[in-house]
Amino acid sequence: MKKPTVLSLLMGGTGACSGEELSGKLGVSRAAVWKEIQVLRKLGYRIDAAPHTGYRLLSSPDRLIADELDALLRTRVVGSRILCYDQLDSTNTTAYALAEKGAADGTCVLAEHQRCGKGRLGRTWNSPKSRNILLSVILRPRITALDAPRVTLAAAVCVARAVERETGLGARIKWPNDLLLNERKLCGILTEMSAETDRVAFIIVGIGLNVNADPAELPPGSISIASVLGRVVRRAPLVRSILTELDAAYGRIKDGVFDGIASAWEEYSGTTGQRVIAHLPGRTVQGAAQGIDTDGALWIRTDSGLQERVLTGDIVHLRRQTKEGS
């Protein structure tokens, strides 16, 4: 059971909360409650204080604040500790350093801005300040390094489900773990890990989700949720939803149970059935994407009729296949 805070009590309640009620529930003085209300107001929370009824939360700032994320989060491991920063070089880099120092399983690092956001295959990840979600989660599953890509597949499914639940938008996964909307990039996932010979020490799952950015502020070929919905979307419920999905999936993955992940991935796949070109070290493979193996490798039937198994790299979607597969 999480310890309540002034914010969680104001967020959880339906009406106003008197200073006396808050101080009683928190076991602190009314002066301490008043002090905390001032801190919250400074952070941008609009809190009404009426003499007879008490405090009422009118609105929250559009910032990701650990207490607010935590207040309504009901997860077991993911989100066990949430750290929100204004600026970092990269949430993955900070999460990695924290994990090396022993940070707990499920610890999350979020930032409003990254100075040197990292993408897959040595690329950079650019995101305008305070518009999107930049999140890294420290996981300590009992698995081998060979199984780590399956964690990334699961993470892509979790983000797709959370986006669907919170916004109604049906994002599709482009192999291995990009999320696309209208064939434009909505989300990228960068997984980094530290492993010994037979076991992963920790995995950092880094998620960059374009929520409120104007596509003109993003790299070409990108899209954001707000640009499709035509309205700004609150990021906190979306983060909570992602953490909730990750927590449910992690309940199984933690002990090396990956059943159902490949089929869940296929449900959201925008790659299976597409004509694709895969850029592999030293060569390219072009053909029809046929779906993934349980380990996440993509099967491509090449134009010359060969079956190619692609384990890492990047693909480009060409044009959609006809029903006959031509």
Site residues (CB under 6 A) for ligand BTN? 90-92, 114, 117-120, 123, 125, 134-136, 178, 188-190, 206-208
The end-to-end CA distance of the chain, in Å, is: 56
By Cβ distance, which residue is nearest to ligand BTN?
A: 188
Complex with ligand BTN: residue 123 or 199, whichever CB lies closer: 123
Complex with ligand BTN: residue 126 or 290, whichever CB lies closer: 126
Say if residue 176 is preceded by a cis peptide, omega within 30 of 0.
yes
Q: Which of 165, 146, 139 lies closest to 242 in space, CA to CA?
A: 165
Which one-letter DSSP state was computed for residue 215?
Answer: G
Complex with ligand BTN: residue 17 or 110, whichever CB lies closer: 110
Q: How far is the CB of 261 from ligand BTN (least distance, A)?
A: 19
Complex with ligand BTN: residue 34 or 85, whichever CB lies closer: 85
State how far the Cα of 194 lies from the Cα of 262, in Å rounded to an integer: 24
Q: How far is the CB of 246 from ligand BTN (least distance, A)?
A: 14
Q: How far is the CB of 118 from ligand BTN (least distance, A)?
A: 4
Complex with ligand BTN: residue 19 or 176, whichever CB lies closer: 176
Quick one: tokens of 3? 């310890």
Q: How far is the CB of 174 from ligand BTN (least distance, A)?
A: 10
Complex with ligand BTN: residue 19 or 206, whichever CB lies closer: 206
* Sheet order of strands, 314-320 included: 307-310, 298-302, 283-292, 274-280, 314-320
State how far the Cα of 263 lies from the Cα of 280, in Å rounded to an integer: 25
Q: Which of 92, 95, 87, 137 lies closest to 114 in space, CA to CA?
A: 87
Beta bridge partners of 300: 289, 308
Q: How far is the CB of 103 from ligand BTN (least distance, A)?
A: 16
Q: How far is the CB of 243 from ligand BTN (least distance, A)?
A: 14
State how far the Cα of 72 lies from the Cα of 207, in Å rounded to an integer: 21
Beta bridge partners of 49: 55
Distances 58 to 15, 61, 109 between C-alpha atoms, Å: 10, 10, 27
Complex with ligand BTN: residue 75 or 92, whichever CB lies closer: 92
Q: How far is the CB of 65 from ligand BTN (least distance, A)?
A: 18
**What's the angle, vertex CA 280, arms to CA 208 and CA 161, rounded to 5?**
30
Q: How far is the CB of 62 from ligand BTN (least distance, A)?
A: 18
Complex with ligand BTN: residue 10 or 137, whichever CB lies closer: 137
> For residues 191 and 204, is the Cβ–Cβ distance under 8 A?
yes
Strands (E), the chain: 46-50, 54-59, 82-88, 108-114, 133-139, 172-174, 178-181, 184-195, 200-209, 274-280, 283-292, 298-302, 307-310, 314-320
